[in-house]
Amino acid sequence: MTSNQPYFDLAILGGECLTLDKSFAEYRDSLILTGNGRIEYIGDRKDFIGPYYAGKTIHAQGKIIMPAFFNAHTHLSLSLYRGLGTDLHLQDWLTKVIWPLEKQFCNPENVYLGSCLSVLEMIKSGTATLADMNFFSGHAAKAIEESGLRGFIGEALFSTSTPSIRDPLDGFNVSAALLEKYKGHPTIHPYLVLHAPFTCSADLYREAGLLGKKWGVKVCSHVSETRNEFEQIRSRYGKTPVAWLEETGVLDSDFIAIHMVHASDEDIEILAERNVGIIHNPHSNMLLGSGISPVNKMIDKGIRVGLGTDSASSNNSLSMLTELQTAARLHKVEALDPSVLAARHALQMATSINADIYGLAGITGSLAEGYSADLLIINPDSPNMVPVYDHYSQIVYSMENRNIESLIVNGKVVMEDRKILTLDEEMILREVEKWTKSVSVYDFIRI
Amino acid sequence: MTSNQPYFDLAILGGECLTLDKSFAEYRDSLILTGNGRIEYIGDRKDFIGPYYAGKTIHAQGKIIMPAFFNAHTHLSLSLYRGLGTDLHLQDWLTKVIWPLEKQFCNPENVYLGSCLSVLEMIKSGTATLADMNFFSGHAAKAIEESGLRGFIGEALFSTSTPSIRDPLDGFNVSAALLEKYKGHPTIHPYLVLHAPFTCSADLYREAGLLGKKWGVKVCSHVSETRNEFEQIRSRYGKTPVAWLEETGVLDSDFIAIHMVHASDEDIEILAERNVGIIHNPHSNMLLGSGISPVNKMIDKGIRVGLGTDSASSNNSLSMLTELQTAARLHKVEALDPSVLAARHALQMATSINADIYGLAGITGSLAEGYSADLLIINPDSPNMVPVYDHYSQIVYSMENRNIESLIVNGKVVMEDRKILTLDEEMILREVEKWTKSVSVYDFIRI
């Protein structure tokens, strides 16, 4: 290394780079150089002038490079209950399975353990950024931080007691404490999380809206997940969940509505006018029989619709790849039109649109100089992806998670050649095994 | 080895075995012993009396053993065009992409090459048996035979010329020759394949029905795939495709209707009465925007509904696992009822129901003594499957192909620890690469 050789932390040499920026720029034989977690150079290899020195070099010839996935809604700790209560309705699944289990087992240790398990799965399926809704969410944050991923963390607030907050009035204090703790943190971003219109009061939404503005954080909530919720709110308040939320003043571009399966045309008008971000969770909505979200209609109205997996207990997978693959297929068949939700759009939903909804446009979700180095290295030389004519099509309709070789988050190599470098995968799996053997979850389920 | 120690070709020792038989029998610590391709012992390890000698032993402690998948509809050679014409309607996809490409490139060598590529993908996703529809289908048969898989092979017949048959009157001769060649073959099963009601005459269906009976083989055809086909047949003949086929006498328990997306209530009555087998291809129907097959209704009427992937060009994957995972989710959300198409049923669609429709009940699709040893060894010790409370749920809603470690077909180890033992994976991928570089497929596409 000589003084006139610039230094970079990481060099990714060769490979076809799909930036997923607005113009879908691509580099056929690319070079990516990072420093302090950011992309300092991205472009064709031949266009980089002069020598450089890199702390680490990854050779990516024959590989595909693209932005890492952003999972815009999940409940990390629930992976401990994966596969329990299968084929049940949401209301039964909640009241007979999940809530009794949470009553019994939801504590800081288990939230941490379940979160560790979930981030392992997310890393192996190429997720760099996630948005979590949890109890004891500081313990989920710990797992995210250790994993090297980027995470939105929020304490799930109800208008009643929760496993973590006995007095509902304490909810915003817990949120404030998280905010204080992670102020200025490069990868852990607190936000305000309200459970749902059927469990939270109008006052709670009103105050969350005001506090969100004051603190400069996003506010999210499950909204209109099931027909049952939709009807319940209508009979309770004489309004749809969206119209009722509109009255609290919480709906604006900083509000994120999770699910939005049931929505009237007027609801969609309100969401568009207020520029609310929607997070669609197709697998969860399908598995629980909740319904097909009017995604095509919302997109037509200019609403930003992103994508999440929901929990490993309602999905039961945390793979953003299979989620976006299903989204693309589902909304084509719903519209009886294969041209809707095209491959490129599906990829944007799982990357740049989510980033925009969460206020991270310009930071993550696509690849450009100055952006965080959050990216995947994909090996397409596999029977399920060959031949590769159209990269976008191949990723959306043919790729499997096993083709994702490496994950880089904030410039740090989190997984290389499918080996996780930040967490001890084997130890976490053994801890989960030990936990499931030490308790009999079946004794607490009411089915 | 002493004279009183019985000899078996293969022993699979330990592991939890899901037989997927009618009673869903399971063995917690199982032993499977095979000879001449068949299962000679299956049960709890402790119940096997005395010593034995095995040519090869696979240790499966901690693993899950289940029947291998049966892919009940595909077009092996089309994987050469994977990802071309994405997000197009069926009619455009056929007339602007697939048919022009077939006109240019469909020849024995390419059918063999594409079929080799497809069977690689199928092996890696746990498929033991497949049903193919092809031109030059003897060359697809060659690839299947070399791979060690079990395959139904059929020359696609039209009432017009095809790439392989200039004079349509020769069609049944080609079929007869295949039948002659593979008579009594343990794993290659010829059948009669007609393309679709909009490309085949009533006479062709009538004669296929009679020949099928005479030869003792199944007859299959695409039926009612799109709204366009449904309306076209109705305007041409004044009848729905099913009612029109009913008149030809071809509909009975030996007839297999592929797709069946559009069906009137009367059609469903006819299909039930004639005990026609249906092959559902959800990904293809979604991706092409063809529609959601009335699977729930057909199952309610007692119709046997199995599952296939269709081609790697309309899907664009040949993974039966993701196909059954989508089927289970799709029909729940269509019915707004999470209890329909439960996990166990989805697994049966991809295994034993397909076997029954193709006349292989008692041979493959579930695990029992006397059945062909067609099975998967799954490693659930992975972040996406842990913890394992409910095996069926975990496989249907959480598993990925990478969890499938080994595939055994007809007692032969086709893939072990994800390494394919029957074909040279690397060489086939290089041959496909060489082919795609030698031709510019884009010059022949009209989009």
- Which strands, in side-by-side order, build the sheet including A188-190? A69-74, A127-132, A150-153, A188-190
Question: Average pLDDT of A244-260?
Answer: 98
Look at residue A445 in the predicted model and tell me its pLDDT: 85
What pLDDT, on a 0 to 100 scale, did the predictor assign at position B2? 55
For residue B391, give the DSSP letter. H
User: In angstroms, rounded to a whole number, what is the distance separating the alpha carbons of residues A20 and A371?
Assistant: 12
What does the pLDDT look like over A372-412, one tens digit per residue?
A: 999 999 999 999 999 999 999 999 999 999 999 999 999 99
Are B340 and A287 within 8 A, CB to CB?
no
Angle in degrees, CA B421, B423, B429, rounded to 5? 125
Please state, in angstroms and as integers, the Cα–Cα distance from residue B88 to each residue in A189, A354, A407, B61, B84, following that order.
40, 26, 32, 47, 10
Q: How far is A261 from chain B (nearest CA, A)?
A: 11
- For residues B404 and B123, is the Cβ–Cβ distance under 8 A? no
What's the CA gap between B421 and B4, in Å, rounded? Answer: 32
Cα–Cα distances in angstroms (integers) from residue A221 to residues A73, A131, A230, A241, A288, in the given order: 10, 12, 14, 11, 18
Q: Please say whether the beta carbons of B90 and B225 come within 8 A.
A: yes
B113 near B431, Cβ under 8 Å?
yes
In the three-class reduction of DSSP (H, G, I as helix; E, B as strand; rest coil), residue A188 is classed as: strand
> CA A118, CA A130: separation in Å to the nearest integer?
11
Are B43 and B36 in contact by the 8 Å Cβ rule? The answer is: no
* Amino acid in the structure at residue B44: D
| Cβ-based contacts under 8 A for chains A and B | 226
Which of chain B's residues have a Cβ under 8 Å away from the Cβ of A346?
none
Residues of A in contact with B338 (CB under 8 A): 87-90, 93, 287-289
The per-residue pLDDT for range A20-54, each reduced to its tens digit, is 999 999 999 999 999 999 999 999 999 999 899 99
Please give the residue that has the higher pLDDT: either A256 or B3: A256
Six token digits for residue B362: 């008692």
Of the candidates A328, A338, A394, which has its C-beta nearest B89's C-beta?
A338
State the number of CA atoms in the 13 A half-sphere of A168 facing the CB. 13
Name which of A326, A285, A83, A329 is nearest B397 in CA terms: A83
> Which domains occur in chain B, in start order?
7-67+363-420 (2.30.40.10), 69-357 (3.20.20.140)
User: Cβ separation of A384 and B319 shorter than 8 Å?
Assistant: yes
* Contact present, B409 and B421 (Cβ < 8 Å): no
Is the complex ipTM more than 0.85?
A: yes
What are the C-alpha distances in Å from B352 to residues B19, B99, B120, B186? Answer: 10, 34, 23, 19
Q: What angle do CA B264, B87, B91 make, to 5 degrees?
A: 50
Residue of B263, B250, B261 whose CA lies nearest to B208: B250
Chain-chain contact of A336 with B285 (C-beta, under 8 angstroms): no
The residue to which tokens 């039209």 are assigned: B158
Distance (Å) from the alpha carbon of A212 to chain B's nearest alpha carbon: 34
Strand ranges across the sheet with B26-27 = B26-27, B16-18, B64-67, B375-378, B404-409, B412-416, B419-420
- Shortest distance between the Cα of A171 and any Cα of chain B, in A, equals 31
What is the model's pLDDT at position A104?
92
Q: Do B383 and A289 touch (CB under 8 A)?
A: no
Asked if pLDDT for residue A152 goes beyond 60, the answer is: yes
| Longest CA pairwise span in chain B (Å) | 73
Residue type, B247: E
Facing B84 at nearest CB: one of A390, A436, A442: A390
Question: Closest to A289 (Cβ–Cβ): which among B316, B332, B436?
Answer: B332
Q: How many other C-beta atoms can be found within 10 angstroms of the C-beta atom of residue B3?
A: 5
**Cα–Cα distance, B314 to B306 (Å, whole number):** 18
Q: Give the mean pLDDT of A198-214.
A: 97
**Which residue on chain A is closest to B383 by alpha carbon?**
A121
Write the DSSP symbol of residue A332.
H
> Which of B141, B173, B145 minimizes the C-alpha distance to B157?
B173
- Option in B337, B401, B432 nearest A386 (CB): B432
- Reported as a single tens digit per residue, the pLDDT across B202-223 is 999 999 999 999 999 999 999 9
pLDDT of residue A3: 62
Query: What is the 3 state secondary structure string of B8-72?
Result: EEEEEECCEEECCCCCCCEECCEEEEEECCEEEEEEEHHHCCCCCEEEEEEECCCCEEEECEEEE
With beta carbons under 8 A apart, name residues in chain A contacting B432.
386-387
Pairwise CB contact (< 8 Å): A432 & B88: no
B69 to chain A nearest CA, in Å?
16
The rounded percent of chain A whose pLDDT value lies above 70 is 99
User: What residues of chain B score a pLDDT lower than 50?
Assistant: none
**Which among B333, B382, B383 has the least Cβ separation from residue A291?**
B333
Say yes or no for a CB contact (<8 Å) between B286 and A227: no
Torsion (CA) A258, A261, A263, A267 in degrees, nearest 10: 20
Distance CA A403, CA B117 (A): 17
Residue numbers in B near A402 (CB within 8 A): 400-402
pLDDT of residue A364: 98
Those residues with Cβ within 8 angstroms of residue A150's Cβ, 6 or more apart along the chain or in another chain? A128, A129, A130, A144, A187, A188, A189, A364, A372, A374, A409, A410
Q: Which of A333, A393, A439 to mutate to test the interface with B (most CBs of B within 10 A)?
A: A333
The burial class, CB within 10 Å (0-12 / 13-18 / 19+), for A127 is buried
Probe site for chain A from B319, B397, B433 (most A CB atoms < 10 A)? B397
Find the closest chain A residue to B432 by CA distance. A387
Structure tokens, A109 = 């240790």
Quote the tokens at residue B112.
Answer: 């063999």
Measured between CA atoms, the residue of chain B closest to residue A81 is B387
A326, A388, A425 member nearest B326 (Cβ): A326
- Cα–Cα nearest to A346, from A370, A360, A329, A358: A329
What's the sign of the alpha-carbon dihedral B335, B341, B343, B349? Answer: negative
Looking at the DSSP bridge assignments, the partners of residue A151 are A130, A188
Closest Cα in chain A, distance from residue B108 (Å): 19
Signed CA dihedral, A32, A37, A38, A41: sign only: negative
CA distance B221 to chain A (A): 22
Q: Is A343 in contact with B87 (CB distance < 8 Å)?
A: yes
Torsion, Cα B106 B111 B113 B114, to 10 degrees, reads 90
Who's near A84: CB < 8 A, 6+ residues apart?
A97, A101, A313, A441, A445, B389, B390, B393
pLDDT band at A191 (very low <50, low <70, confident <90, very high): very high
Measure B104 CA to nearest chain A CA, in Å. 17
Distance from CA of A46 to the nearest CA of B (A): 23
CB B380 within 8 A of CB B388: yes
- Is the pLDDT at A2 greater than 70? The verdict is no
* Candidates A93, A124, A436; nearest CB to B383: A124
The order of strands in the sheet holding A7-13 is A38-44, A30-35, A7-13, A53-59
Residue of A193, A199, A201 lying closest to A226 (CA atoms)? A199
Cα separation of B193 and B172, whole Å? 10
CB contact under 8 A, B124 and A383: yes
Comparing CA positions, the residue from A355, A351, A331 lying closest to residue A341 is A331
* Alpha helical stretches, state H, A216-358: 227-237, 241-248, 265-274, 282-287, 295-300, 320-335, 343-349, 352-357
C-alpha pair distances (Å), B353 with each of A270, B216, B285, B362, B404: 48, 20, 20, 11, 21
B159 by Cβ neighbours in 10 Å (0-12 / 13-18 / 19+) ranks as middle
- Are B397 and A316 a contacting pair at CB < 8 A? yes
**A66 - beta bridge partners?**
A376
pLDDT tens by residue, A346-377: 999 999 999 999 999 999 999 999 999 999 99
Set of chain A residues whose Cβ sits within 8 Å of the Cβ of B288: 332, 338
Strands A219-223 and A192-194 turn out to be parallel
Q: What would the pLDDT profile of A99-108 be if each residue is shown by its tens digit?
A: 899 899 999 9
